[in-house]
Structure 1
Amino acid sequence: MVTPPAAQDRWGLPLGFSAFLIWGAMPLFFPLLEPAGPLEIIAHRIVWSLVFCIVLLAATRSLHSFVDVLHRPRTMALLALASVLIIVNWTTYVYAVLTQHVLDAALGYFINPLLTVALGVVVLRERLRVAQWVALGLGAVAVVVLSTGVGGIPWISLVLAGAFGLYSLVKNRVGRGVGALPGLAAETAVATPFALAYLFWLAAIGAGTFSTQGVGHALLLASCGVVTGLPLLLFSAAARRLPLSVVGMLQYLTPFLQFLLGLLLFGEQMPPTRWAGFVLVWVALVVLTVDGLRQSRATRLAAAAPATVDTEP
């Protein structure tokens, strides 16, 4: 049964908002997992994400889609690379949250759209419009300002943006033939043997926290699977219902919430130089967004023009 367009529009925005809201609230979740360290948290996140995906695939009778992906060597090679990149992203992010660098994490996700455009030039040999060059220039100046005024290169921000940008590029190469759920299942399946080996090693040397900090702690670690998989599924559902321009605007909700949490709740410092860097990035994003909306409108008008001509008597 096909969902009517009105129903799609009605559900698209709440689904997308929920996904980015969960991602934006992540800094509130990871401190609950202490005394587990970043690597132990990521290992549990990998293992329990796979469990969550398998359960959902089985419940929806779509395990065959996951098995099909496993039997496609080229696709699995790309997903293995994607797995490495997203694990680098996850680990850096958890480290940032647990070491009171939430503002650096927020900056990384603000920078991400700019870095994605840069990757298009370097990797895909895309030609940029003037506004896109201006946005990239502002982003580069922002990094220089932050590097010279806040005590070094903002490596957390750059690693987060770089890893996720490359991850998005690899996922784009995988194509739409792999759904969000089987794709995440395949990515975590690749990494699960290594994650389990690390967790068993921690248990063997008495450094693991899963079985030593009580049932509540163990359940929180196990919930990493839901926390990882649920927003991805919500985002996937929203992306099928919303225009790309709306999805693009919603993505800024995540770093904005992270920024507010870092500034207001965790009390991280915002000296004038850091404010200057953030403002430059925000201006760059405004330029990039306005240009994207104009280009999208021009493309729609160009596509509609032949149809208008054809219908004339």
Structure 2
Amino acid sequence: MTSISTRAHSADAHKHGVLFVFAAGVLWSTVGIGIRMIDDAVVWQILLYRSISMSLFLYILFRMRSGESPFVQIRRIGSPVVVAGLSLVAAYSGGIYSIQNTSVANAMLLFATAPFMAAVLGWIVLRERVRFATWIAIVVAIGGIAIMVADKSGSVALKGSLAALGSAFGFAAFTVALRWGRTGEMLPAVFLSGLFAFAITLAICFGLGLSVVLSPNDGFISMGMGGASRCRSDPLHAGLT
């Protein structure tokens, strides 16, 4: 009876996981629209405000759900959370920069290479088996990427395409880090990425002489992205990791 109950729970978790992953994809696709609606803010200013709202939201959520600080959970899990948090900073930075410097369609297509990168990283780092069909898909994807990037050579769009690939690699590294720390709660990694991004972008803004005060429109949209990012993190505890 226990075995049947366990299988039923696992099946439900998987269904919820698939639903959350689909929702995450939909929410991630709205980032391009949000960034296009920003008037003057550059990538570092956007990330600064986005990180503030995301970290505050998640801190309150952790307190309400578990009654303990996310820092306690971070210390309990250790290195996988830190690696995942840093990977997300790279993913977010590259994602926003790419959308500001190339077309949304081009950036989104390059973001879609993240699963292939994750498969290769998982094979290298975690020694997870990769199917032959997956290797074929990876080779085809690399060929398509080469054509797309070559078409953008000699322009600002090339930097945007390379940043999109860097973002995809960040998400791939994040995925592998989740697998590494799958025995524990990995949602604190998203909270930690917000703190990392806040510290890094604040230093960059001061270093480049960028204002940390945005217009109401840019500030509202940037902080709204932080809330959407938390929703995109739901698959972390939905039975798919």
TM-score normalized by structure 2?
0.76
Q: CA RMSD in A?
A: 3.4
Q: Is the contact made by 2:45 and 2:212 (CA closer than 8 Å) also made in structure 1?
A: yes
**Contact 1:108 1:158 survives alignment (8 Å):** yes
Task: State the partner residue of 2:195.
Answer: 189
Residues 126 and 220 from structure 1, CA distance in 2 versus in 1: closer, same or farther, beyond 3 angstroms?
A: closer
How much has 1:125 moved relative to structure 2? 4.0
Counterpart residue type for residue 61 of structure 2: L
The reply on whether 1:56 has 2:61 as its aligned counterpart is yes
Q: Distance in 1 between matches of 2:201 and 2:150?
A: 38
Listed as ranges, the gaps of 5+ residues in structure 1 are: 248-313
Whole-Å separation in 1 of the counterparts to 2:12 and 2:126? 37
Contact 1:88/1:163, CA 8 A, preserved across alignment: yes
Where 1:224 maps in the other structure, the secondary structure is helix
- Paired residues for 1:133-282 under 5 Å: 133-151=135-153, 154-180=161-187, 182-198=188-204, 201=206, 207-210=211-214, 213-214=215-216, 216-233=217-234, 235-236=235-236, 239-240=238-239
Which residue of 1 is the match for residue 70 of structure 2? 66
Instruction: Extract unaligned runs of 5+ from structure 2.
Output: none
Corresponding pairs, count:
229
Distance 1:150 1:205 in 2: 30
Structure 2 residue identity aligned to 1:232: S
Q: Which amino acid aligns with 1:30?
A: I
Distance 1:132 1:9 in 2: 22
Deviation, 1:115, is: 1.6
| Greater mean deviation of Cα atoms: 150-159 or 91-100 | 150-159
Larger Rg: 1
In structure 1, distance between residues paired with 2:203 and 2:116:
37
Deviations 1:263-295 (A, max 9, x none): xxxxxxxxxxxxxxxxxxxxxxxxxxxxxxxxx
1:20 corresponds to 2:25: yes
Which residue does 2:117 correspond to in 1? 115
Contact kept? 1:46, 1:195, Cα under 8 Å: no
Q: For residue 40 of structure 1, report the CA deviation from its aligned partner.
A: 0.8
Identical counterparts, % of pairs? 18
Q: Secondary structure at the match of 2:112?
A: helix
Q: Equivalent residue of 2:56, what SS?
A: helix
Distance in 1 between residues matched to 2:56 and 2:174, nearest whole Å: 22
Aligned 8 A contact 1:76 1:186 in 2: no
Q: Structure 1 pair 144/8, CA: closer, same or farther in 2 (3 Å)? A: closer
Once residues 206 and 191 of structure 1 are traced to their aligned partners in structure 2, the CA distance between those partners, rounded to angstroms, is 16
SS of corresponding position for 2:153:
coil
